[in-house]
Structure 1
Amino acid sequence: MSLINRTYFTIPILGLLILLFSFLLYKNLTEKVKASDNPVIGTLTFKTRTIQRKYDNEVIWESITTATEIHNKDTIRTENLSDAVLTLEDGTKIQIGENSMILVDFSDNNWNLNFAYGTVATERSANASDSVMNIQAGNSKIQVGAGGLSLDKSGESLNVKIDSGQAKVTNGGQTQEIAKDQIANLSSEGISVNDIEYKLLTPLDRSISVIEGNNKSIVFSWSKLGKSKLTGVKIEVSTDPGFKRIVSTQNIKSDSISLSLAPGSYYWRLAYKDDKASNRFTAISKFSIEKKENLRLFTPSQGQNYSFIPGSTSLPISVSWSKLQLASNYNVQISKSSDFANIILQKDTFNNSISFSDIPEGNYFVRVLAKSSIEEMGLITSNSHSFSVTTRIDAVKPSLFEPSNGKTVSKFSIPDSGLFFSWKDSSDFSEYEFYLSNNANFTNPIAKDSSSSNFYKLTNDIKPGKYFWKIIGKTKTGIQKESDVYQFQITESINLALLRPNNGSQIDLDDASSLNLSWKPFPNIGTVTLEISKNKNMESTILKEKVSGTSYKFVTDSTGIYYWRLVWNGDGESAESEIFNFTTSKKLVAPNLQIPSKNQIVDMTLRDSLIFQWSSVVEADLYQLLVYDVTGIKEREIINVKIKELKYILTDLTKLNEGKFRWEVKSLTKNNDDSFSSSNTNRADFFIKLDSGSITKILTPGKVYVE
């Protein structure tokens, strides 16, 4: 009896808990990825191409645009040929180069920047000196107050260039101050600080130029700071910070040179030989050339007329225009004259559309001005359009929206609150009369009601079948206008709607080994099957499982593209959801280079082979080794192999000569679809030397007898 009493109370309590937690789970899964609750700490003031952001404690990346607010602990990354500028609340500017990633955190009144990889530059004004910025890059830490610095991280090596002010760097237990016009290299070997031999002057580092044509003549200038005697000075201009895509190399004899360049992002440096004839390079300076975009006004169209009936309110007038890559905000102006001498209305917005209400009858002109954080761009003004606001006697026929004409509606998708009908709202009408019938003549209508809004909710139960609906709009002056008649079908099939991950999402398996697939609730009738495939046509599935509720935890450690959908079957009918896809990836690390070491001089005089060796990466299936001869103006690839081993022995010495070489290694992992994902690349220069003064050893016999 005691057991029965305990069960009598336990089962209802457990049922209530299941309902409560199911509701909380449903609420969490059906919500769209919302902005972080963390406070806003800055704004994306400039971007080119693709910039992505991941909120704190999220795994899904989203693309962001100029003027996007950046929250505390957001992670920002750039893709190939993309860069961005973040402006923090204290005025600090952070420029992020291509293929880079950072996390920005404001804690304890200090800025903390976690620099994962790529290139980053910061510029902090004098009024920011009451706080410091701590930059963490692997095991290295840089602390800076006011001033500017640039960082370039490749593998475990970090280069720090001080443009203004000073910084304190810590690496491997060693701490050192770096001053203006100094460069520090932080690696496993410690901290190496050198004075700059050449200071690059123009174009200014991280500067952005705006041009109207297809090319611009850029003046490169520099000054010599050091006293050492240097030779073989030349300028190198590239479209990537690793100088793989060099667009120009010129020998120089003066302290400036002009080059004509097309729009894009560029990196430049000086290459020279020191007093020991060793190849050296200056710090890298970056600049961008952006083509000035035309601002085009879309709506109102030229000469468009907006009319309304006396006694009704005028329609909102929507102004829209083309979105500019370099614009930070827009100012929309409406004037009575074409020269805009007398502006009667104006609004500012970050978007590329805005509406104006209650504009009185008359003739007007509209234009848009785009503003940018780039001073050189100035204001960009759109073309102007004229439009008019007039009154009319007759009303416009109402337009129906939902259910659309010919639409099929699942009975199970109709919410308990009722079937929703909507139509285009019009300022002409003060009231609408709604009609629903099972015949086109509307004899004995199922529903007939009045509404002052542009929607109607049918709360009565509606059976499967064909239906017809219409509305009659009524003005305050007694004019009536009847809409077209729409027909729709109610069926007993089911609608399936997928929610998350969003279609086309990219998911890092570093952050989660499993992910929730979620969808909108469906009625508890028939069976619903989740299908996951590596084929977009769903011809073969890797998972096929009956599901209930609103989510499924999919566990995978494989990378690649996945396609998924829901399939419903019941009472001889079936339905399928839309097919969504998502991509999983693992962030591989590049192996550490071991032999030859950075800038090592390899004497090949008595060698018959050259060994390349690197460290192991657990997740790697293969390694790709590339070796380039960079002695001449144009680099030449001499090795490109993919191997499993941690060592490669080059025996074909005809590929080598005296001079400078660069070797690179990256990790590769095989995806399920047989494609490969790759890590970043670690690279190092080395030099080949031959001793021309060595004594030649005769290997053939000293005497040769010929018959």
Structure 2
Amino acid sequence: MRRNERGFTFWDVLLLLAAMGLLAVSAYLYFSDISLRRYVLGWQDADEARVKIGMMSATSGSVLRQVSVDIEFRSIKHNDDLYNYDTIVTGPDGHATIMLEDGSTIDLGPGSMIKLAFESKLSFDGISRAANVEVIAGNVSGQAKDAKIVLKTREGDIAIEKNRQQSIKVAAAPMVKPSARPKPVVTPVAPPGPAPEKPRPSPSPSPVVVPRPSPSPSPSPSVKPAIKQAAVKIQVLAPKAGDTFRLDNGAVVLEKAVKMQWKIQPIGTKARYILRHGTKGVLIDKPFVAEKENGTATVTLKSPGEYTFILNCEECPKERPVRVGARFVLEREYEGIEGLPPLVGGKVTDSNAYDGDQSQNFSITLRWKPVEGVEKYKIRIKDSQKATKYVLQRELEAPAYSFNKNKIYTGKAFYDITAETKSGFIATSPPLEFSFSFLPPNLVIPEDGAVVSKASFSSSDNTILITWQKTTFTQGYVFELGTDPDFKRIVISKNQKENFFVITAPSPGKYWWRVRSYSKNLSSPYSRANSLTITP
């Protein structure tokens, strides 16, 4: 074999060029992110079913859609997106118009059912999708624009070339029952003509009716032979579509264990279960072989949001996949903040009743237990339990909020606390309540209904001592003495710093006395009135 001046033969050069070409094609496929499993081997990726191929441009009457990962039909509205492997059904009064990405349209009349089954193809020009529509039943028409549309039916395929329009009508496939074995058709042979007059030595035998075997009935074109995948049944038992989960109240570890349950027939089926999060993508993609009909898997959810649980038959042909799924939600909010008793003036109390401490430093501190990993809290306060608007909202770094410093507050306030965790959950408190009453002092002496004679007055000062209990957060008291229980005729009205008053040389008669507390900005109601009778 001749070699060139570098010592290579013709076949050496040809093999080198082929290797370089193969390397170039491999590099192109790699950097173009083209899946060989999908376009060369024909495997279907899970994400192929979520490829948007158009939108629902018009609907009227009853129109339903089943996505490939769902197990039931749901309502679809005008302008909703459509995805590959979606199944569309119109009711007896329904009409629908689908607009594909290239502007082509597909119209469905009443009682129609189609499945969008676009196929991705790889060529030197890139990846393209063939607009294949499986027409199961009803009146369907298509208007192709930039690329042809193929309407696939049981009888065959109908291609609508670009810039063309065509309609078809497909009857629903009848239920095929096994027919009785056909009986053979007996066809008698015509009898022979009259015998000739000339006698013959031996007459011919009488004709015999010979049954003709009937041809085997040809199979109906609409009855297709059973295929293996038809026997595979997959059912999601839990969670159900639309289920909602929530973290446990007071949870410290922000995780939720959810048990996935399914049923697969027959035993030995190769399957795969997939768990996908709405924003984080695929979390679990695990193949397995069904060793028994009922299977379970417990997964730990660490992020709030929508999840999709998918079960897929791995050994079923791609043109007739067996695939079921269920969407469920892990709620973002959970009750994870525990309130602590509020402090008034640094202590737990709900009134200004005297407890041994005559503090005047009034302030309200609303408190709660801190949540691990939380950097900021939000408090909202309203003045009524039924109110929809909040009178105050604050963002805080500490698990406490102080207000009304040196300004007495009386009444009730309602508040709640929220905080966002690093993993995206929102911890909330139950509805919390604060109440404080600025009360009048309790009267001490003389007791209600007391009778005092002037003879019993002290001979030195001729006075009567009136006293009452102290109250906290108080600057002073107002003492009133009147000659009627409604205090329309007031004899004495005095501001007192201390919790007593001295009446000097009162005249005989019946009196009533009462006291109230006051601070810088607030006064308590008057105490109940005690009666006092002075006799000569």
- TM-score after normalising by structure 2: 0.32
Larger CA Rg, structure 1 vs 2: 2
- TM-score after normalising by structure 1: 0.25
Higher strand share: 1
